[in-house]
């Protein structure tokens, strides 16, 4: 079997990650912030070290502002519901995932409105249109760093500079970029970065988080309230970080896994992971473009893109092709809308969607060749 659905979730995970989860499950197993025994302190230290690793990874100075959630979806909900009030306006790109679009549509009933900045057929953000969409009451800009449909990377440094100049909060969804391309919260001038552990960060599912700066945090209300293990004699939510946003028992097995994954990425080097994925993406793009009847959706070059490649197949049903490639060639890809109807409308592939081939750090040239062989045979 060949796994080429890494934009959905990365697989396999590094052995170090599996070992770390196993270590927690077999040798630690306890909760943190609630026990006075030494194992509890050991796990607490590891959780704090993971905050430090994340702060370092995304270039933010204060690990206390690194918050763990269940997913990037929960992080984005926390940021949007915690910040926005009646009368606020938001600008998003037209490539957003439903993790952004569904909360924003739900927030309409609370008097919050939004506009989409246009992206061209290759997914490149139209900065002039973005500027036009900013209104006097624009409180936040929320954008994905990279499209989960076509892999195009948005020029978020330019967006961040415009947000800062206009005193607008800038929130970045790094679901498709973290672990694949370097991300620097400072140079993007982002006020918050939302991340998920199970994709490019190579950790288990059920864990995500966000980093928020003090400027945005001062305006942010918690989304989930409950026990934190701290100031337990009070019935009010703590206001200090990270407890303000971390109610309920944490996913400690996944945090152990993420700790090992971040160390793995650091040792391997993100540049090397990027170079490897980029090289394979080049092979795939070159091969696909030689096949009659296959159209690559999004950028055809290797600039401003991740290793997520979408295509359409002329005269064939995309669902049937995706099913067949799995059954006959053992290749796992995804078809359809990928939870991003907005992106497909921008890219011209709505409502049929695309077949998405997403390369990960453990794929190799043979995987790409097998995939190209399948499409060559299909279109003969
Ligand atoms: C751009 C983007 N944002 C958000 C998400 C949601 O991720 P999760 O399911 O880990 O919350 C995804 C997942 O596919 C994504 O690609």
Question: Torsion angle of alpha carbons 254, 266, 148, 302, nearest 10°?
Answer: -160
Phi and psi at residue 91, to the nearest 5°: -115, 135
Residue 33 — pLDDT band, cuts 50, 70, 90? confident
CA atoms of 37 and 110, how far apart (whole Å): 46
Question: Whose Cα sits closest to atom 14 in ligand 1?
Answer: 8
Query: For residue 251, what pLDDT band results from cuts at 50, 70 and 90?
Result: very high
Q: Return the ligand 1 atom nearest residue 73 CA.
A: 11
Instruction: Give me ligand 1 centre to Cα 260, in Å.
Output: 22
For the segment 283-300, the average pLDDT, to the nearest whole number, is 97
Task: Tell me how far the alpha carbon of residue 378 lies from the centroid of ligand 1, in angstroms.
Answer: 31
Q: What residues does ligand 1 touch, defined as CB less than 6 Å away?
A: 71-73, 97, 99, 144, 148, 173, 175-176, 196, 208
Give yes or no for a contact between 4 and 357, defined as CB atoms under 8 angstroms apart: yes
Evaluate whether 195 touches 210 at the Cβ level (below 8 Å).
Answer: yes
Atom of ligand 1 nearest to the CA of 199: 10
**Ligand 1 atom showing the smallest separation from residue 196 Cα:** 10
For strands 113-117 and 89-93, give the pairing.
parallel
Cα–ligand 1 centroid distance for 103 (angstroms): 13
Q: Residue 239 class from Cβ within 10 Å (0-12 exposed, 13-18 middle, 19+ buried)?
A: exposed
CA of 334 to the centre of ligand 1 (A): 14
pLDDT value of position 39: 86
Distance 357 CA to ligand 1 centre (A): 16
**106 plus 189 within the same structural domain:** yes
pLDDT digits over 91-125, tens only? 999 999 999 999 999 999 999 999 999 999 999 99
- Which pLDDT score is estimated for 169? 98
Atom of ligand 1 nearest to the CA of 74: 11
* pLDDT tens readout for residues 181-220: 999 999 999 999 999 999 999 999 999 999 999 999 999 9
Q: What is the pLDDT of residue 36?
A: 82
pLDDT digits (tens, 9 = 90+) for 323-352: 999 999 999 999 989 999 999 999 999 998
Task: Count Cβ atoms below 10 Å from residue 137 Cβ, excluding itself.
Answer: 11
- Average of per-residue pLDDT across 312-321: 93
DSSP state of 50: H
> Is residue 94 domain-shared with residue 203, that is, in the same domain?
yes
The candidate with the shortest Cα–Cα distance to 376, out of 293, 282, 277, 271, is 293
Residue ranges making up the domain that contains 183: 15-267
Q: 333 with 196, same domain?
A: no
Nearest Cα residue to 160 out of 151, 170, 172: 170
Tell me what pLDDT residue 40 has.
Answer: 85
Residues 6+ apart with CB under 8 A from 51: 63, 64, 66, 242
- What atom in ligand 1 is closest to the CA of residue 148? 16
- Measured distance CA(193)–CA(159) in Å, rounded: 14
Whether the predicted pLDDT of 37 surpasses 90: no
Would residue 198 be called left, alpha or beta, if left means φ above 0 and alpha means ψ between -120 and 50 degrees?
A: alpha
Mean pLDDT across 56-80: 98
Kindly state whether residues 197 and 328 are assigned to the same domain: no
Regarding whether 215 and 277 lie in a shared domain, the answer is no
233 and 324 belong to one structural domain: no
Domain boundary among 210, 239, 267: 267
Last residue of a domain, which of 267, 290, 325? 267
How far apart are the C-alpha atoms of 331 and 117, rounded to whole Å?
35
Q: How far is the CA of 175 from the centre of ligand 1 (A)?
A: 5
Locate the ligand 1 atom nearest the alpha carbon of residue 70 and give its number: 11
Compute the distance from residue 308 Cα to the ligand 1 centre, in Å: 13
For atom 15 of ligand 1, which residue has the closest CA?
175
Residue to probe by mutation, ligand 1, list 175, 198, 204, most atoms within 8 Å of CB: 175
140 & 73 share domain = yes
263 shares a domain with 274 = no
116 alpha carbon, distance to own chain's centre: 19
Give the pairing type, strands 192-196 and 169-173: parallel
Last residue of a domain, one of 222, 247, 267: 267
Distance, CA of 112 to CA of 82 (rounded, Å) = 13
E strand or H helix at 164: helix 156-165
CA of 93 to the centre of ligand 1 (A): 15
Mean pLDDT of the chain: 97
Residues 261 and 277 in one domain: no
Using an 8 Å Cβ cutoff, are 287 and 372 in contact? yes
Number of compact structural domains in the chain: 2
- Which residues, including other chains, have CB under 8 Å from residue 40's CB and lie 6 or more apart? 30, 31, 32, 33, 34
């Amino acid at each position: 079997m060949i796994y080429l659905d890494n934009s959905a979730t990365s697989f396999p995970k590094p052995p170090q990650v599996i070992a770390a989860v196993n270590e927690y499950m077999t040798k630690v197993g306890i909760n943190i912030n609630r026990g006075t025994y030494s194992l509890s302190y050991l796990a607490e230290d590891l959780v704090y070290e993971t905050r430090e690793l994340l702060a370092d990874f995304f270039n933010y100075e204060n690990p206390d502002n690194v918050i763990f959630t269940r997913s990037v979806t929960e992080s984005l909900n926390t940021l949007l519901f915690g910040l926005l009030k009646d009368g606020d306006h938001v600008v998003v790109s037209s490539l957003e995932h439903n993790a952004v679009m569904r909360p924003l549509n739900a927030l309409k009933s609370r008097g919050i409105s939004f506009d989409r900045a246009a992206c061209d057929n290759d997914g490149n953000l139209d900065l002039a249109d973005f500027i036009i969409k900013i209104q006097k009451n624009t409180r936040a800009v929320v954008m994905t760093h990279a499209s989960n449909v076509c892999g195009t990377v948005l020029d978020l440094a330019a967006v961040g500079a415009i947000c800062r100049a206009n005193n607008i909060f800038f929130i970045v969804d790094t679901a498709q970029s973290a672990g694949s391309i370097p991300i620097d919260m400072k140079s993007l001038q982002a006020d918050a970065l939302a991340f998920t552990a199970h994709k490019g960060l190579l950790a288990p599912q059920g864990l995500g988080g966000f980093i928020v700066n003090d400027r945005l945090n001062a305006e942010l209300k918690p989304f989930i309230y409950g026990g934190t293990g701290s100031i337990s004699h009070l019935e009010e939510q703590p206001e200090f970080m990270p407890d303000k946003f971390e109610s309920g028992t944490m996913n400690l097995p996944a945090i152990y896994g993420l700790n090992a994954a971040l160390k793995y990425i650091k040792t391997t080097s993100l540049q090397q992971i990027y170079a490897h994925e980029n090289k394979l993406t080049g092979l795939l793009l070159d091969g696909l473009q030689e096949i009659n009847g296959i159209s690559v959706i999004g950028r055809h070059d290797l600039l401003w893109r991740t290793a997520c490649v979408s295509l359409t197949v002329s005269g064939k049903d995309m669902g049937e092709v995706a099913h067949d490639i799995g059954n006959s060639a053992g290749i796992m890809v995804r078809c359809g809308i990928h939870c991003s109807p907005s992106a497909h409308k921008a890219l011209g592939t709505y409502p049929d969607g695309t077949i998405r081939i997403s390369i990960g750090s453990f794929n190799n040239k043979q995987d790409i060749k097998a995939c190209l062989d399948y499409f060559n045979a299909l279109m003969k």
